[in-house]
Amino acid sequence: MKKSNFQSFVKKEFLHIFRDVRTMMLVLLIPVVLMVLFGFAISTEIHNLNVAVVVPNKSESIRQAVNRLACNPYFTLVDEVANTDIDPVLRSGKADAVVVFDEDYDRILAQRNAGINTPPAMQFIIDASNTNVAQSGAAYLQQVLAENHTPQQLLNLHLLYNPQMKSAYNFVPGIMGFIFILICAMMASVSIVREKEMGTMEVLLVSPVRPFKIIMAKMIPYFMISCVNLMTILLIAHHLLHVPMSGGWWGIIVVSLIYLILSLTLGLLISTIATSQAVALLVSAMLLLLPMMMLSGMVFPLENLPTVLSPLPNIIPARWYIQAIRKLMIMGLPLSAVWREVLIMIAMIIVLLVVALKRFKDKLE
Amino acid sequence: MPAISVNNISKSFGKVKALDCVSLQVSKGELFGLIGPDGAGKTTLFRLLTTLLHPDEGTAQVDGHDIVKDYLAIRQCVGYMPGRFSLYPDLTVEENLNFFAALFGVSVEASYDLVAPIYRQIEPFKERRAGKLSGGMKQKLALSCALIHRPNILFLDEPTTGVDAVSRCEFWDMLSELRQKGITIMVSTPYMDEAARCDRIALCNEGRILSIDSPTDITRGFDAPLYAVKARNMFELLQRARTVQGVLRCYPFGEYHHIVTDATFNTDNFQSSLNALEDLQIQAVSPTIEDMFIKLMER
Amino acid sequence: MNDVVISVTELTKCFGDFTAVDHISFDVKRGEIFGFLGANGAGKTTAMRMLCGLSFPTSGSGSVAGFDIMTEGEKIKCHIGYMSQKFSLYNDLTVWENIRFFAGIYGLSKSETKERAQRILEQLHFTSERNTLVGALPLGWKQKLSFAVATIHNPGIVFLDEPTGGVDPITRRQFWEMIYEAAHAGTTIFVTTHYMDEAEYCSRVSIMVDGKVCALDTPSQLKRAFAATSMDEVFRQLARGAKRGE
């Protein structure tokens, strides 16, 4: 097949993609939507936690503590309630947390400042029906209210790389891992399988074109679209979400391109297994997306896995990619720091490609 | 050297024997028809000859090339139109044609003279998406695409199934024209009435070939006397005719019922025993390919 | 008047500015085998869908089995049987499970189901295949079984959409004998086909071209009117003039 013919093959694939306006829009918009969604709307940070306080006396130090709560952007002071109203105010949902100051608040603080062991000076009662909110809320409250009053702090907490604990930093690598699997693996495999389903694959196979060319021509458009997406994501991440990209752009791009190729290879493998578009979608979703969400460290920390399952994430491509991107993007390490992840991904590409090409036959059985 | 030569080919899918020791020869320039219902093995035979499947047993040559060893050579010189609609519905007529030309590394202009008689009919719609074409026009486009690289041999798997009678007739006219240009054509169809348009036909059923010959000669094997009968109440006639002496089989056939008889049959006796039926008519007829097919199937 | 089971007046269906079915009118009598012919895209399927209560006409009126197609679509569905080439039976269920399922759809009681299933199996000489997966049956058998299943609730009218496509000549004839028999017993048959010899089996035939019914009569009258020797010729004369495709 001459080069010009290969180009017309690629052109045809682009036409398929552009003709399907809905899919096209979806492909280009999904990254933007996900980025904005995770970057702004969905975050594990807590804003405007409604707090009520129980104040037994209006001593100066209590007034100061309540003031600190009221001024903090993370909390909204809703009410001052009586001891007996704690339950109703939580039940009615007016408050997410109640801070109860001890009657001897001043005395306990004074003793504490003097280094005497004391009972707690206040109590937090928190609505834990949403465990995430409860946990973070408790931690925030503790930080805000304990400030300045525990000079003999037991530990010195120092948060590296993401001192404000911005959740966007955590999600951007995850979203990248997710989107490229979606577009490269899922969509490319569906597009190959569609030809099988339509019967056009029969005609393609009964032509002098070698299967390898057919596949390459199918992969190129998805690769290029993914490159566009990559740029969109990086630009949004940097300019809108202020992700530092401290390791430099080139490292991120190189690692991402390797991951793109890996995703395409996965898609190719799926297309050799699936016989219908529905099966291709199902296989992609069950074997790629679901394990990726669970085991790549994108949503749930890998450290929480039971030991039996702990080797499992190692076979998830996204896990290595996300790990590498975190190092480059947020920790600001140079490309040389992720050589292990890169090597693993390249090894995966080789293995998958060999298996896929072995399975992809120019026959129908 | 024949254009297609099939020798004792068998192919099974699991327990189902799709082809059972099939042999046939197609000469160069012949319009050869595979006639048979679904499940006869027509599609399997096409896929074997277009090198999409390997045979379990037997050998076959297409244009002198072995279907297993030289499959790449075969893919250069055959055109194939699978049973299903095999174009890209989201591409326009013109884009489809250009793509298939590029697939074989030829330009549309170089083969235009060959496809022109067919393609010209759909050229006014060349900007239209292939998915929006009518059944007849889709066929014409598919045929143009299968012809664009000037194949020596054309394989057409049930091109007329589900197409109305008029479009079917037009399609066969196009095939006759291509045959004039020296292209060998192998075509399959479930419609018996299309068999007459072929040079030679193979009647096939359940993986076996029942008979191969020219359409006129194939009915020579029908040795029993055949009559067409008709009456006002056709259903009653069908049931009662089967009870008459000398009637071997009676089956509906268009506006008549056909009765196959043996030597003891006598038309006068038939008429007198069924004289209760109104407007009874009987006449001797010569057998058609469908009569022959039924006879061969029941053997 | 009770003898007219399908009656259609000026029935029209438009999709946007495209008139798929263009003011068609006809009556079908009880026990008739009514052949509904037309070129690809002439509007047969659209018309049939309206008669089965699956889609609403844009204008015009009609009744099927005594029920209005505009307002009583659900009642129509209880009184008709429907069989198409594409969907007939579940391949991954056995013969008996298919029968039981369709009997259930039409609300047959347990004893009725049992009795009808027995009757079907005997009629088709299928008793030994009772527990065979339908997917393993030859195509011809499937078609016969799906006709039997389509009539399991003894509907007054059966709609058959290309019931014999790709079926071998013997099974095709056995199938038509089942149709004859059902018609003989008083069931009205409404059938589409691409086999022109099958058009001859019908009591009356209508031929649609470009959304209009342009011929409707008995096969012999039609042949006389068009000076043709077969229905094939009649059909070709009419369909040649067709302007539009699918």
* Residue pLDDT, tens place only, C105-158: 888 888 999 999 998 898 888 888 888 888 888 878 888 888 998 888 889 999
Whether B164 and C40 lie within 8 Å, measured CB to CB: yes
Q: In chain B, what residues touch C207 (CB-CB under 8 Å)?
A: none
pLDDT for the residue B100: 92
Query: Would you tell me how many other CB atoms lie within 10 Å of the CB of residue A97?
Result: 24
Residue of B nearest to C170 (CA): B294
| Domains of chain A, CATH where assigned | 2-42+166-364 (no CATH), 49-154 (3.40.1710.10)
Minimal Cβ distance to B99: which of A12, A205, A364: A12
What range defines the domain where residue C203 resides?
4-239
Residues C90-108 have pLDDT tens digits of: 888 899 999 988 888 888 8
Q: In chain B, what residues touch C165 (CB-CB under 8 Å)?
A: 161-162, 190
Q: Would you call C146 exposed, middle or buried from its count of C-beta atoms within 10 A (0-12, 13-18, 19+)?
A: buried
Report yes or no: B257 and B238 within 8 Å, Cβ to Cβ: yes
pLDDT for the residue A283: 87
| Encoded tokens for A1 | 């097949």
Mean pLDDT of A23-44: 79
Query: Is the pLDDT score of C1 beyond 70?
Result: no
What CATH number is attached to the domain comprising C44? 3.40.50.300
Residues A165-184 have pLDDT tens digits of: 566 677 788 888 888 888 88
Q: Is residue C245 part of a domain?
A: no
Q: Give C87's pLDDT tier (boundaries 50, 70, 90).
A: low
Residues B210-220 have pLDDT tens digits of: 999 999 999 88
Residue with the bigger pLDDT between A114 and A318: it is A318
Q: State the amino acid at position C223 in one-letter form.
A: K
Query: Is the pLDDT score of A348 beyond 90?
Result: yes
Q: Give B124's pLDDT tier (boundaries 50, 70, 90).
A: very high
Q: Is residue C244 part of a domain?
A: no
Residue of C nearest to B297 (CA): C170
CA distance A208 to chain B (A): 5
Mean pLDDT of B6-24: 92
Please report the beta strands in B168-293, taking only residues with DSSP state E, as ranges in sequence order: 184-189, 200-205, 208-213, 226-230, 247-253, 256-261, 281-284
Residues C10-65 have pLDDT tens digits of: 999 998 888 899 999 999 999 999 999 988 778 888 899 899 888 889 999 999 99
In this prediction the pTM is 0.80
pLDDT for the residue A152: 44
Q: Report how far apart, in Å, the C-alpha atoms of A209 and of each of A3, B105, C210 are.
A: 12, 9, 42
pLDDT for the residue B168: 87
Whether B98 and A363 lie within 8 Å, measured CB to CB: no
Residues A194-242 have pLDDT tens digits of: 888 888 888 888 888 887 888 888 889 999 999 999 999 889 888 888 8
Whether B105 and chain C come into contact, CB under 8 Å, resolves to no
Query: Is the pLDDT score of A151 beyond 60?
Result: no
Q: In chain B, what residues touch C242 (CB-CB under 8 Å)?
A: 166
| Encoded tokens for A103 | 């009657």
Report yes or no: B6 and B49 within 8 Å, Cβ to Cβ: yes
Residue of B nearest to A17 (CA): B90
Q: Is residue C175 part of a domain?
A: yes
Mean pLDDT of A273-293: 85
Q: Which of B134, B164, B167 to mutate: most C Cβ within 10 Å? A: B164
Chains B and C touching, counted as 3 or more CB pairs less than 8 Å apart: yes
pLDDT for the residue A97: 87
Alpha-carbon distance of C220 to B90, in angstroms, equals 45
Phi first, then psi: give them for residue B187, nearest 5 degrees. -130, 145
Whether B238 and chain C come into contact, CB under 8 Å, resolves to yes
Q: Does domain B221-298 have CATH number 3.30.70.100?
A: yes
Name C78's Cβ contacts closer than 8 Å, sequence gap at least 6. C106, C153
Query: Is the pLDDT score of A153 beyond 60?
Result: no
Whether A1 and B76 lie within 8 Å, measured CB to CB: no
pLDDT for the residue B90: 92
Residue with the bigger pLDDT between C166 and B154: it is B154
CA distance A216 to chain B (A): 14
Minimal Cβ distance to B53: which of A20, A200, A365: A365
Whether C20 and chain B come into contact, CB under 8 Å, resolves to no
Query: Is the pLDDT score of A160 beyond 80?
Result: no
Query: Is the pLDDT score of B10 beyond 70?
Result: yes
Q: What is the CATH number of domain B4-218?
A: 3.40.50.300
What's the mean pLDDT when you consider all of chain A? 82
Q: Is residue C246 part of a domain?
A: no
What are the sequence ranges of the domains in chain B? 4-218, 221-298
Whether A9 and B99 lie within 8 Å, measured CB to CB: yes
Query: Is the pLDDT score of A304 beyond 90?
Result: no
Total number of domains constituting chain C? 1
| Encoded tokens for A99 | 């801070």
**What pairs with residue C192 in β-bridges?**
C161
Whether B102 and A202 lie within 8 Å, measured CB to CB: no
Q: In chain A, what residues touch B46 (CB-CB under 8 Å)?
A: none
Query: Would you tell me how many other CB atoms lie within 10 Å of the CB of residue C19?
Result: 17
CA R_g for chain C: 18
pLDDT for the residue C196: 83
Q: State the amino acid at position B84 in one-letter form.
A: R
Q: In chain A, what residues touch B48 (CB-CB under 8 Å)?
A: none
Alpha-carbon distance of C39 to C48, in angstroms, equals 14
Minimal Cβ distance to C245: which of B136, B205, B253: B136
Whether B280 and chain C come into contact, CB under 8 Å, resolves to no
Phi first, then psi: give them for residue A5, nearest 5 degrees. -70, -35
Helix (H, G, I), strand (E, B) or coil at B120: helix
pLDDT for the residue A172: 82
Q: In chain B, what residues touch A206 (CB-CB under 8 Å)?
A: 50-52, 75, 78, 80
